[in-house]
Structure 1
Amino acid sequence: MRYVTLMDLYNHRITQKYVNRSGMAHAISCAYHAFHLAKQSNVNPDLATKAAFLHDIGHYTWYRDGKWDYELYRTNDIHAIKGAERAHKLLIRLGEHPVAAKEIALAVLLHTDSYLPTGSLELTPLQRIVALADEQDEEPKGGHHYRVISDKRARRMLTQLDNLVNEALDPLPLQKDS
């Protein structure tokens, strides 16, 4: 059972503010990548698509002298930490199951290791999928954050993805009568 859909997330003002800041087209693309990876890996596609959609919700805009500074961002950003907090709070407010909200928030937290000290973590399959989905959509110097998508197209794509997730979670799809 899904408590919160991608469209529920998309329609919330917090998502509009922070996911738009980091790139709505990128977030939607990552959610699609995560869906396909989850199906291949037998991971819950509902959790994977939500985590991938929200993975950059913690981004801050790093500017120097009025211009985006990619190096300043790369050196100082901890968006995954802020993002995990924002994602968890948003999901709980929207009525997501607390266990699912925590799993999604942890996947957001661990989608990148750019802020962690050198070492290795053992990621869960969900966390690995979200990191891979993000990597699959990356462009040099953060270009993936600047792609644009119209509201109409975003809504259409997320509705379609919600339908795919519902179908994937439905154990007995309806059979057409002959």
Structure 2
Amino acid sequence: MRKVTLSEILDHPIAQKYLKRSGMAHAVSVAYHAYRLSLQEGVDSDRAAKAALLHDIGHYEWYTDGEWDYEEYKKNDIHAIKGAERAHKLLIRLGEDRAAAKEIALAILLHTDSYLPDGQLTKNSLQMVVKRADELDEEPGGAHHYRTISLEKARQKIQELDRLIEKGERPLKRTV
């Protein structure tokens, strides 16, 4: 049984602050990708969608002389570390099962390897689903973070995804 819904996460002020910063449309789209992939891979769809929705809440803003500096961001990024911490704290505050919160946070931590030293790291199925879902929505130069969606539209999409998770159904159309 789900202790916390995606809608409850989205409605929390902390989630809204950081989802707006990192790209609400991207977060919602990645959550849908993760849901679809989780059904294909036999992964817990609730945890996959939660990790995907929150995967970028650790983003920092990297500017040089008032302009977004994508190269500086790529060189110094550790958003997955900060995001895992924020997501874990948020989920625990909302009443999520502690083991689920940890698993979701670890999937966020490992959704990218941009901050890791060179080498291979073995990821579990949930972590791979979140990583692949993010990659499916990426655009060159980080443009996926700048697509827009109203909070009301995002809420509608997330409520729809909550219903799909509850019923274990596949989405019928493109999301965002």
TM-score, L = length of structure 2: 0.95
Q: In the alignment, what sits opposite 1:173?
A: none
How far the C-alpha of 1:152 sits from its partner, in A, is: 1.6
SS across alignment from 1:2: coil
User: In structure 2, what is the equivalent of residue 115 of structure 1?
Assistant: 115
Larger gyration radius, structure 1 or structure 2: 1
Correspondence for 1:19:
19
Residue 78 of structure 1 aligns with which residue?
A: 78
**What CA distance in whole angstroms lies between the structure 2 residues aligned with 1:56 and 1:82?**
9
- Give the secondary-structure state (helix, strand or coil) at the position aligned to 1:49: helix
1:7 to 2:40 alignment: no
| Aligned mates of 1:160, 1:78 — CA distance in 2 | 31
Q: Displaced runs of 4+ in structure 1, greater than 2 A?
A: none
The equivalent residue for 1:175 is none
Question: Pairwise mapping of residues 74-153 of structure 1 onto structure 2 (< 5 A)?
Answer: 74-153=74-153
State the partner residue of 2:172.
none
Partner of 1:176 in structure 2?
Answer: none
Q: How many residues align?
A: 169
Deviation of the 1:150 alpha carbon: 0.9
5+ residue gaps in structure 2?
Answer: 170-176
AA of the residue aligned to 2:76: N
Q: Deviations over 1:124-178 (max 9, x none)?
A: 0000000000000000000000000011211110000000000119xxxxxxxxx
**Secondary structure, counterpart of 1:149 in structure 2:** coil
Identity of aligned residues (%): 64
Match of 1:46 in 2: 46
TM-score by length of 1: 0.94
Q: Secondary structure at the match of 2:168?
A: helix
In the alignment, is residue 159 of structure 1 matched against residue 175 of structure 2?
no
What is the Cα-based RMSD across aligned positions, in Å? 0.8
